[in-house]
Amino acid sequence: MKRRGFIGKMTAGSAGALFLPGWLQAARAAGWTDPSARDQKKLVVIKLAGGNDGLNMVVPYGDPLYYRARPTLAIPKEQVIQATDTQGFNPVMKGIAQLYREKKVAVINNVGYPDPNRSHFRSMDIWETASGAREYLRTGWLGRWLDTLPPALRKPYMAIDDDEQLSLALKGKTITGIAVRDPKKLHNTLQRGFFRPLAEMWQGQQSGNPSLDYLHQVMEETVTSADYIWDKTKDTQTTVPPKPGGDPLAVALQTIATMIEADMATPVYYTTLNGFDTHVRERPQQDRLLKEYSEAVTAFAQRLEKKGLLQNTLILTFSEFGRRVAENASGGTDHGCASNVLIVGGGLKKPGIYNEAPNLARLDQGDLRYTIDFRSVYATLLEKWLDADARKILGRKFPVLEFI
């Protein structure tokens, strides 16, 4: 067909498609009804590393067994920010409590998995890969989600970890996410030395050596992803500058907010707040961290809401395990099992306390028993938020929850 005949037969929609970025064309070809990055649903995952004490985060102040198990560590009833007649928030979490009153928070109690592991490293691997307790996987649950995307969308920038090192959760078999703490710094680093020339030299070529070809692919994808992220964000600035000596989560979430506001194609963001291994003097350490968490998440949610973006954003907060119910002799708590998961967002179907409070009268060797498998939380997010096949990604079917 000649050029004039081709153009004459095109509809307005198909003509416009020629000028869409490649990922939008692929999205439309894959059947997405609205490929606008601004209207795309976003998932932000916050990892509280070290084993957060869920009982002092969402406090069962109505249960006398809580105070009996923690004679010095328990938060006094009059200080708890009440959410229900039996549970409430740590008093330092004023921002989260306000979001809760605005119906933007869902608290899922008793989240864990069968045969729990109390090792930081192993339990975090289980949470990040969505494996069973005796199953060892080399790919993460969000990395396997990346693997299911259409080839044109299978780009590292589709899942960004605001860190210096990429989380296992974002590592797939054919593609991985990208770790970006400072878009400008990453872009400038890849401009220097051999990175860009080597990536350009090997672009689209095959050496016949699978390992070498994979290395070239990773380098090429890293360079192009860094270019894309910097190009989208270079004309914006975060509204909360880093505070000297602290509040890294606030900085991370403001960087992520900048990326979301820049209409980046990225659906998944990941970040970590460290320091929750509270064996000794738990109250001051956890209170400081929970205050930072609450203020950072609240500022992030409020910023997105002002831009009309919170309705399409969900924030998942988890930790690799909870703490034991009874306090130890050092004013802290030791490694436990089940804990709570927080979901923050503007489009919750069932905000509030999602399920029953922890049963402190029926423990498993001093630990909370799980009643919701964490993979049900993942299955819900995959199916209802990311429009993915959760069974294919998680390896088997898990019950889908109703918080969205």
Nearest to 241 by CA among 299, 187, 198, 293: 299
Q: What is the mean pLDDT of residues 154-167?
A: 95
pLDDT at 2: 37
Q: Which range (129-133, 223-227, 276-280, 301-305) has the least confidence?
A: 223-227
Is residue 5 a part of any domain in this protein?
no
pTM confidence score:
0.87
Number of compact structural domains in the chain: 1
pLDDT at 29: 46
CA distances from 345 to 255, 290, 316, 320 (A): 18, 18, 9, 22
Is residue 344 a part of any domain in this protein?
yes
Residue 112 main-chain phi, psi, to 5 deg: -170, -145
Is the pLDDT higher at 107 or at 21?
107
Is residue 3 a part of any domain in this protein?
no
Whose tokens are 């869920």? That residue is 54
- CATH at residue 169: 3.40.720
| Segments in 150-209 forming alpha helices (H) | 183-191, 195-201
Is residue 148 a part of any domain in this protein?
yes
Is residue 8 a part of any domain in this protein?
no
Is residue 306 a part of any domain in this protein?
yes
Is residue 37 a part of any domain in this protein?
no
Q: What is the mean pLDDT of residues 186-192?
A: 75
Name the residue range of residue 229's domain.
Answer: 42-277+287-394
pLDDT at 39: 76
Q: What is the mean pLDDT of residues 253-271?
A: 96
Is residue 402 a part of any domain in this protein?
no
The whole-angstrom separation of Cα 404 and Cα 402 is 5
